[in-house]
A and B are shown apart, each in its own frame.
Chain A
Amino acid sequence: MNFTEEQITRYSRHILLPEVGGKGQQKLASAKVFVVGAGGLGSPVALYLAAAGIGTIGLIDSDLVDLSNLQRQILHYTPDIGQAKVQSAKRKIQALNPDVQVESYQERLTARNALDLIRPYDVVIDGADNFPTKFLLNDACVFAGKPLIHGGILRFDGRVFTILPKQSACYRCVFKSPPPPGLVASCQEAGILGVVAGIIGTIQATEALKLILGIGNLLTNRLLDFDARSTTFREIRIRRNLRCPVCSEHPEITQLVDHEQEVCQLPGTASVSS
């Protein structure tokens, strides 16, 4: 694939980087990234990946844009309220960079569809707001051998790390199973400083770009913990658990299951983005 004059100009600041260059930009143009969630984390992830010239971005989200989302979900604007998040997202991405092909899936990620959905993609990014989806996505990426970039945010805190299945610690190596409802503050109860989603999401996007370009050191076997109040990043060493229920030699989990509890929902509330 040859770049047009316009594309060379668009990506010139990338191409100038010796670590990227024309070859690297070609890699980005042929890469396919699957983003789970078009919300707080998914917004900066999708926008930066689109700007960077990622060839195909897959976006899955079943929700509609709600007024309470706009404090942090920068893919969506006030006139988008009530519209499907994936459609709102697709319009912004295409306006930003028409080179990008956007595949949108207005549905939930489930044990039934997860493997089929991630199969065509090179990298998967976790921008989900609930534990069942995070665990399901981890397991699906381990089974499919897809790199997964995990992110989590709550209040003033954020976490991020990269998972290379069977090579580096996976989400279940670190956290074996989802917490039971009520034990961990839900997103809706707890709140989130909007910009924390931006900080964690842009780190996730950085990891995806590095992974595709094959440059630098990935955030594997290291959990990066950000505290906005003190503006500190802390690195916690993590490692593969030889008895991990999903990525070890003798896993307990051999097929995908939908965890029933929706930890991020208050009992009796509808599914609203947190």
Chain B
Amino acid sequence: MIKVRIPTPLRSMTGGKGEVESTGGTIQELIDNLDSSHPGLKDRLCDERGEVRRFINIYVNEEDIRFLTGKHTPLKDGDEVSIVPAIAGGSL
């Protein structure tokens, strides 16, 4: 099982849950599996070409997948994945 941290803006798709469990041998497989249990999640994370959107970062055990092998980054049981989108706010 892989623990996935869901950021606030995407929790509407996970019934309000900040953490869900899923499976997958790679980030890509994990995103596909997450999308089956939480339909629409993939659209929020990836663009039409299936690439992770530019304002969203995905971390495996606190390491950015861009510095690993991107969406092909391998996952193993017990890994923790964090989804971190850019947030604005503060009031100008």
Contacts and interface: CB of A to CB of B under 8 A. Distances in A.
Contacts of A167: none
A179 B55 contact: yes
B88 A175 contact: no
A158 to B, nearest CB: 8
Interface stretch (B21-29, B31-39, B61-69, B71-79): B61-69
Interface in A162-212: 174-179, 183-185, 187, 190, 192, 197, 200-201
Most chain A CB within a 10 A radius of its CB, from B54, B59, B88: B88
A225 B91 contact: no
Interface string A223-255: 101010110001111110100000000000000
Interface in A100-157: 108-109, 126-131, 133-134, 151-157
A267 B37 CA distance: 31
B42 to A, nearest CB: 13
A62 B44 CA distance: 32
A228 to B, nearest CB: 10
A53 interface: no
Contacts, number: 129
B3 interface: no
A40 B90 contact: yes
A190 B7 CA distance: 13
Given A157-B7, A239-B67, A177 B54 contact: yes
B34 to A, nearest CB: 17
- What bracket does the count of chain B residues touching chain A fall in? 20 to 34
- What bracket does the count of chain A residues touching chain B fall in? 35 or more
A184 B92 contact: no
B89 A274 contact: yes
B9 to A, nearest CB: 5
B86 A236 contact: no
Interface of A: 36-42, 60-63, 69, 72-73, 108-109, 126-131, 133-134, 151-157, 159, 174-179, 183-185, 187, 190, 192, 197, 200-201, 223, 225, 227, 229-230, 234-239, 241, 263-264, 273-274
13 contacts: A41-B91, A63-B92, A109-B92, A151-B90, A152-B90, A175-B57, A183-B55, A230-B18, A237-B62, A237-B63, A237-B64, A263-B88, A264-B89
Given A127-B90, A201-B90, 16 more contacts: A36-B92, A39-B92, A40-B89, A42-B90, A127-B92, A131-B88, A154-B8, A176-B55, A177-B55, A178-B86, A184-B9, A184-B55, A185-B8, A192-B89, A236-B84, A237-B64
